[in-house]
């Protein structure tokens, strides 16, 4: 790290600096570092909220967790959800970015319109989706009915509910990936396209294959990981639309954590799930930092 | 990327984009459309965007009287405003010191900020809940605001900004006899407005839309933030009275959508900057 100021720090300046950072230090310890470390400690206890005593039970919660079929179901569902939403929203985002950036007019309009689902309140839109997906009067089934397809129930069918939620997830996050890709596209130097054209790469596909795709490599990795972290945190649509059902088919990690810790008040057990959740997110984040190192340098 | 290609490819491009747009925006359009219709038209299988008999007044009146929608919006303003204000009060001084001053522990604090950026908001939820329970603050505005006062993202973003301010500006101020607090308040703050706005957009959007935390700490209907209020409304209606329900969701989504349409560029820039982080 470089020296921030060219002069030597005076004692007065050092004191002022300590005063300036002390609220941040205090809040960091009390509100973030303390609670995050406390999750690890709580996960080693049998504590239930409000209980007068607490026993350390070692890795008991984790043993129970890893022997629990619901936990594995929940972990698997979260993984499936990510494996659908990440490729779906990354490819859709990339396609939209390419189509829109290549357009001669209307770029700002398209960009804003496709971005709209990202900023709109997801809970309110989930309620709207519930209506759109209504088995008999919902827009989706009514339209399917007109072309002779019987849509059936989207949210109460165990083999379908998770994929329905994933569809909403893609709808909500494609616009975010789109703008992230747009930033990547802007950084590709225009003379590269001229160069490959001189070399005879005339078609749009060849230009994409020879320049755009290789140059977008780091951006694609970054967008994929960011998308993975976001979809791993899926919770809102589950709580509003399915409550983990039917038959645990949409039970996801954060939802399991929420019900254990805040409905059943099995605090220690809920903390163990949180630790698993946190470790996965941290692993993904380290990947993101690795991907981001190629793009930015903190200095 | 550069525009190019035949007329046919241009037409095709716009056809695909518009078709996609129809699907992406369908939920918004149908939400507004339904909020204007009487029940018999909502339950009809004949599709039309505009109602034959308008029921907008009934639906919106019902939405506003069945649940305290305005109260939810006001709560959203109080909570997001409170969080952002306190975040600024903690972040700005720390960011300035990290960027421009030399002191013991600077590198450690910056490392902690970078680590803080990686921790998802749900990770410290259980101990935060326990703390609020112990001090008797569950189910209050404080429970909604206090946990988010420390923003690693805010400190990081503002530090990156302060780094770009020339040191000469501070030297001149010091020669004029200004202390560090005055330099921050009188010189840095006015310069930092654009960066603060970018931070504000991210902070306000993410906390306005947050559902996980309010769901955990709030029981009283009067303290519900807009997302939680939406859920109360949905449960109240038992998912059948769609006209007023959609009117409610229109009212709940409107503030952010309007804010977005008014400040698109800043929104998209801010969100690109972070990949959406609070």
Nearest CA of chain B to the CA of A9: how many Å? 6
Nearest CA of chain A to the CA of B186: how many Å? 15
Task: Write out pLDDT tens, residues B233-252.
Answer: 888 765 578 888 899 899 99
Query: Domain containing A130 — which CATH number?
Result: 1.10.3720.10
Q: Binning pLDDT at 50, 70 and 90, where does residue B210 land?
A: very high
Which is more confident, A206 or B27? B27
- Domains of chain B are 7-64 (no CATH), 72-274 (1.10.3720.10)
Residue of chain B whose alpha carbon sits nearest to that of A288: B118
Residues in chain B with CB shorter than 8 Å from the CB of A145 are: 45
Q: Is residue A13 domain-resident?
A: no
Least confident of A142-156, A210-224, B71-85, B87-101: A210-224
Q: Which domain holds residue A153?
A: 63-293
What is the predicted pLDDT for the residue at B55?
80
Asked if the C-beta of A86 comes within 8 angstroms of chain B's C-beta atoms, the answer is no
Q: Is residue A166 domain-resident?
A: yes
Q: Binning pLDDT at 50, 70 and 90, where does residue A4 land?
A: very low
Residues in chain A with CB shorter than 8 Å from the CB of B152 are: 32
Instruction: Out of B101, B105, B276, name the one closest to residue A176 (CB).
Output: B276
Which is more confident, A5 or B244? B244
Nearest CA of chain B to the CA of A39: how many Å? 7
Give the number of beta-carbon pairs within 8 Å between A and B: 314
Q: Is residue A124 domain-resident?
A: yes
Give the residue-averaged pLDDT of B46-61: 83
Confirm if A13 and B101 have CB atoms less than 8 A apart: yes
Give the residue-averaged pLDDT of B175-194: 84
Asked if the C-beta of A123 comes within 8 angstroms of chain B's C-beta atoms, the answer is yes
Q: Is residue A33 domain-resident?
A: no
Three-state helix/strand/coil letters over A234-294: CCHHHHHHHCCCCCCCCCCHHHHHHHHHHHCCCHHHHHHHHHHHHHHHHHHHHHHHHHHHC
What is the predicted pLDDT for the residue at A254?
94
A242-246 LR contacts (CB < 8 Å, sep 24+): A242/A155, A242/A161, A242/A165, A244/A74, A245/A156, A245/A158, A245/A161, A246/A156, A246/A157, A246/A158, A246/A161
Q: Is residue A35 domain-resident?
A: no
Task: Write out pLDDT tens, residues A148-167.
Answer: 888 888 988 888 999 999 99
Give the residue-averaged pLDDT of A290-296: 61
What is the predicted pLDDT for the residue at B238?
56
Least confident of A41-55, A106-120, A196-210, B99-113: A196-210
Say how far apart CA A147 and CA A150 lie, in whole Å: 9
Inter-chain CB proximity A104 and B3 less than 8 Å = yes
Cβ atoms within 10 A of the Cβ of B121, count?
Answer: 18
The pTM for the full model equals 0.88
Task: Write out pLDDT tens, residues A11-27.
Answer: 878 888 888 999 999 99
What is the predicted pLDDT for the residue at A3?
45
Task: Write out pLDDT tens, residues A30-42.
Answer: 999 999 999 999 9
What part of A 258-297 touches B (C-beta under 8 Å)? 258, 261-262, 267, 270-271, 274, 277-278, 281-282, 285-286, 289
Residue of chain A whose alpha carbon sits nearest to that of B255: A120
Q: What is the ipTM of this complex?
A: 0.87
Q: Is residue A264 domain-resident?
A: yes
Give the residue-averaged pLDDT of A56-61: 87
Inter-chain CB proximity B28 and A116 less than 8 Å = yes
Asked if the C-beta of A194 comes within 8 angstroms of chain B's C-beta atoms, the answer is no
Least confident of A197-211, A269-283, B21-35, B192-206: A197-211
Inter-chain CB proximity A137 and B215 less than 8 Å = no
Residue A298 pLDDT greater than 50, yes or no: no
Q: Is residue A11 domain-resident?
A: no
What is the predicted pLDDT for the residue at A80?
96
Q: Is residue A32 domain-resident?
A: no
Inter-chain CB proximity B47 and A143 less than 8 Å = yes
Inter-chain CB proximity B128 and A35 less than 8 Å = yes
Residue A142 pLDDT greater than 50, yes or no: yes
Structural domain total, chain A: 1
Task: Write out pLDDT tens, residues B160-172.
Answer: 888 888 888 888 8
Inter-chain CB proximity B100 and A4 less than 8 Å = yes
- The overall average pLDDT reported for chain A is 86
What is the predicted pLDDT for the residue at B22?
92
What is the predicted pLDDT for the residue at A23?
93
- The overall average pLDDT reported for chain B is 86
What is the predicted pLDDT for the residue at B171?
83
Inter-chain CB proximity A28 and B150 less than 8 Å = yes
Give the residue-averaged pLDDT of A46-70: 86
Residues 6+ apart with CB under 8 A from B60: B35, B244, B247, B251
Q: Binning pLDDT at 50, 70 and 90, where does residue A233 land?
A: very high
């Amino acid at each position: 790290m470089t020296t921030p100021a060219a002069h030597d720090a005076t004692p007065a300046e050092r004191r002022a600096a300590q005063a300036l950072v002390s609220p941040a230090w205090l809040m960091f310890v009390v509100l973030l570092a303390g609670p995050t470390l406390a999750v690890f400690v709580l996960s080693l206890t049998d504590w239930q909220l409000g209980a007068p005593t607490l026993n350390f039970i070692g890795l008991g919660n984790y043993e129970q967790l890893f022997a629990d079929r619901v936990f594995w179901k929940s972990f698997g569902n979260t993984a499936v959800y990510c494996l659908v939403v990440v490729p779906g929203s990354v490819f859709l985002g990339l396609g939209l970015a390419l189509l829109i950036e290549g357009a001669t007019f209307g770029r700002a309009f398209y960009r804003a319109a496709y971005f709209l689902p990202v900023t709109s309140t997801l809970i309110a839109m989930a309620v709207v989706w519930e209506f759109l997906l209504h088995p008999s009067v919902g827009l989706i089934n009514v339209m399917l009915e007109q072309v002779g397809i019987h849509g059936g129930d989207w949210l109460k069918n165990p083999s379908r509910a998770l994929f329905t939620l994933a569809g909403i997830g893609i709808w909500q996050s494609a616009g975010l990936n789109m703008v992230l890709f747009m930033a990547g596209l802007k950084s590709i130097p225009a003379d590269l396209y001229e160069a490959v054209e001189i070399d005879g790469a005339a078609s749009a596909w060849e230009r994409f294959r020879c320049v755009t795709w290789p140059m977008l490599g780091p951006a694609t990795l970054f967008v994929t990981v960011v998308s993975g972290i976001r979809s791993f945190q899926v919770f809102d649509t589950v709580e509003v639309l399915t409550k983990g059902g039917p038959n645990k088919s949409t039970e996801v990690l954060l939802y399991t954590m929420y019900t254990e810790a805040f409905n059943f008040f099995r605090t220690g057990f809920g903390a163990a799930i949180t630790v698993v959740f946190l470790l996965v997110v941290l692993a993904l984040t380290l990947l993101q930092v690795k991907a981001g190192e190629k793009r930015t340098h903190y200095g | 990327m550069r525009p190019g290609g035949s007329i046919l490819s241009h037409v095709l491009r716009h056809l695909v984009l518009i078709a996609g747009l129809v699907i992406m925006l369908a939920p918004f359009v149908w939400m507004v459309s339904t909020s204007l219709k009487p029940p018999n038209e909502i339950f009809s299988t004949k599709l039309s965007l505009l109602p034959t008999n308008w029921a907008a007044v009934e639906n919106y009146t019902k939405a506003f009287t069945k649940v305290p929608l305005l109260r939810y919006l006001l709560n959203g303003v109080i909570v997001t405003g409170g969080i952002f204000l306190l975040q600024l009060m903690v972040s700005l001084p720390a960011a300035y010191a990290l960027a421009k001053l030399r002191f013991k522990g600077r590198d450690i604090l910056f490392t902690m900020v970078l680590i803080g950026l990686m921790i998802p908001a749900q990770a410290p939820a259980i101990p935060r809940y326990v703390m609020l329970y112990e001090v008797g603050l569950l189910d209050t505005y404080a429970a909604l605001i206090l946990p988010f006062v420390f923003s690693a993202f805010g400190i990081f973003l503002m530090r990156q900004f302060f780094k770009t301010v020339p040191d000469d500006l501070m030297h001149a101020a010091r020669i004029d006899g200004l202390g560090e607090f005055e330099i921050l308040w009188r010189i840095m703050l006015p310069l930092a407005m654009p960066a603060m706005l970018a931070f504000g957009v991210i902070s306000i959007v993410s906390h306005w839309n947050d559902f996980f935390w309010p769901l955990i700490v709030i029981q009283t209907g009067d303290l519900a933030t807009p997302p939680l209020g939406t859920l109360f409304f949905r449960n109240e209606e038992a998912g059948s009275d769609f006209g007023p329900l959609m009117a409610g969701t229109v009212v709940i989504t409107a503030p952010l959508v309007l804010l977005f349409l008014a400040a698109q560029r800043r929104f998209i820039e801010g969100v690109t900057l972070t990949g959406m982080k609070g």
